[in-house]
Amino acid sequence: MQVDLIIEARWIIPVEPESVIHENHSLIVNDGKIIDLLPQHTARHQYQAHTLRELHNHALIPGLINCHTHASMTLLRGIADDLPLMEWLQKHIWPLEQKWVGEAFVRDGTDLAIAEMIRGGTTCFNDMYFFPEITAHQAIKHGIRAGIGLIAIDFPSAWAEDSDAYLEKGLALHERLRHEPLITTPFAPHAPYTISDEPLSKIRMLADELDLPVHMHVHETRHEVDEQRQKTGQTPLQRLDELGLLSPAFIAVHMTQLSDAEIDDYARTGGHIVHCPESNLKLASGFCPVAQCLNAGINVALGTDGAASNNDLDMLAEMRSAALLGKGVSGDASAVPAMTALQMATLNGAKALGIDQQTGSLTIGKAADVVAIEFSEVETQPLYHPLSQIVYSASRNQVTDVWVGGRQLLKQRQLTTINLSDLHERIGIWRERLYADDNK
Ligand SMILES: CSC[C@H]1O[C@@H](n2cnc3c(O)ncnc32)[C@H](O)[C@@H]1O
Ligand SMILES: [Zn+2]
């Protein structure tokens, strides 16, 4: 049988629970989907490939899913470091956003983010930012999968003047994007401290009606929880529960402040958590008790957050930080083992976004969202266990090839859909503008 693509690899790590690591196997891809997984000699016998990629020092893993980003904030990378969340937001980021964020900012910042993400093996990102129609346009243009947040916040911005306008524009955008194969549109109310009950209740109704997830920063810092409790007598989670938001369609980002009882209560709602270890470390926000959450049965995925608080969009690094921090915080070296960290960065992300029938593992019938990681350099030698190298030793420079829905977006480290010299030129212009403003 004639097929579009055969990828031969030294190891293939499907990531589905109970699956084994295959040695010297081939992944067979046709019409954008994985149609077979066979020993290499059998595959060559059964299929004729339009394209054959031989990756004999590589492992194939499912594309990494970055479940929480603010993509165009790459343009603010390194502009305000070493600050806690509220000072960082109120004194630096929000004033810069008020002044600079518009269509061109989001287009160029998103392109930079997409280039960085593809080069690091990310095939899907879940975004929350102003001008989401531009983020969606750039994601489709460059061939990457994306959750495009239908944002809501009580503050005016260049995109919308009030929470009603955010929702109205969000719904119109959902209508325009709902047949795009690479795009989903979760609601994305910013955080409990920036959005009032009325728009949150509307979001709950609309999310139910349209069957969309809700993606929100929750319990990011102690300050957030203490302030809300002082003002209202409730924690942010209690308030969200009372408003009916906590459900299997809810994606809570950060969750660094959780008591044992809150972990059990949240597990009962079926909600997901997106753990952003590096952003939490850099802003000194706290630690999500990941091992406890996983033990309680919560689906925990991974995100980088924006490049202004991380300061990169490197999901391999995030995976390693999650594994190390999971052990450190629980005091248990066996907590968050390598396979769990890889599942958090892939399949758990797909589950949180409600796209696990399409992607998240190298499973027959799913989209061919595939990443190849090379092991021949000194940094990953000698090689005993490919999974150990991926989580604990490899860097994103070892990502050689990336496919989304069978389309190759990175080919031997070269981006196929983004012109890097044009991108560098555009980013240079933003650097001059923002640097001059920051140093006024
Ligand atoms: C409504 S668009 C998103 C909004 O979120 C801001 N933001 C970026 N990182 C964080 C974070 O870690 N916690 C809270 N808010 C964050 C971003 O600057 C935009 O204003
Ligand atoms: Zn965030």
pLDDT in tens, 101-158: 999 999 999 999 999 999 999 999 999 999 999 999 999 999 999 999 999 999 999 9
Pairing of the two strands 299-302 and 272-275: parallel
Residue 227 has pLDDT above 90, yes or no: yes
Structure tokens at 324: 């190390």
111, 228: one domain: yes
**Is the residue at 338 inside a domain?**
yes
43, 163: one domain: no
Work out the percent of the chain whose per-residue pLDDT is above 70. Answer: 100
Structure tokens at 440: 């006024």
Q: In the predicted model, what is the mean pLDDT of residues 248-252?
A: 99
171, 224: one domain: yes
72, 16: one domain: no
Instruction: For residue 238, give Cα distances in angstroms to 241, 265, 268.
Output: 5, 10, 13
> How far away, in angstroms, is 385 Cα from ligand 2 center?
34
Which residues does ligand 1 sit against, CB inside 6 Å? 70, 85, 89, 93, 97, 128-130, 151, 153, 190-191, 217, 220, 279, 305-306, 309
Is-contact 25 56, C-beta < 8 A? Answer: no
Say how far apart CA 171 and CA 67 lie, in whole Å. Answer: 21
**Is the residue at 420 inside a domain?**
no
Ligand lying nearest the CA atom of residue 89: 1
240, 326: one domain: yes
- Tell me the pLDDT band of 436, cut-offs 50, 70 and 90: confident
42, 73: one domain: no
Q: What are phi and psi of 137, to 5 degrees?
A: -60, -45
Ligand lying nearest the CA atom of residue 305: 2
Domain of residue 259, CATH code: 3.20.20.140
**Is the residue at 413 inside a domain?**
no
pLDDT reported for residue 363: 98
Q: In terms of residue numbers, what domain contains 394?
A: 2-62+369-405
277, 170: one domain: yes
pLDDT reported for residue 138: 98
193, 266: one domain: yes
Per-residue pLDDT of 332-375, as tens digits, reads 999 999 999 999 999 999 999 999 999 999 999 999 999 999 99
Q: How many folded domains does the chain comprise?
A: 2
In the chain, count H helices and then E strands. Answer: 17, 18
Domain of residue 29, CATH code: 2.30.40.10
Per-residue pLDDT of 14-34, as tens digits, reads 999 999 999 999 999 999 999
Per-residue pLDDT of 58-106, as tens digits, reads 999 999 999 999 999 999 999 999 999 999 999 999 999 999 999 999 9
27, 116: one domain: no
Structure tokens at 364: 């027959």
**Is the residue at 427 inside a domain?**
no
Question: How high is the mean pLDDT of the chain?
Answer: 98
pLDDT reported for residue 437: 83
334, 377: one domain: no
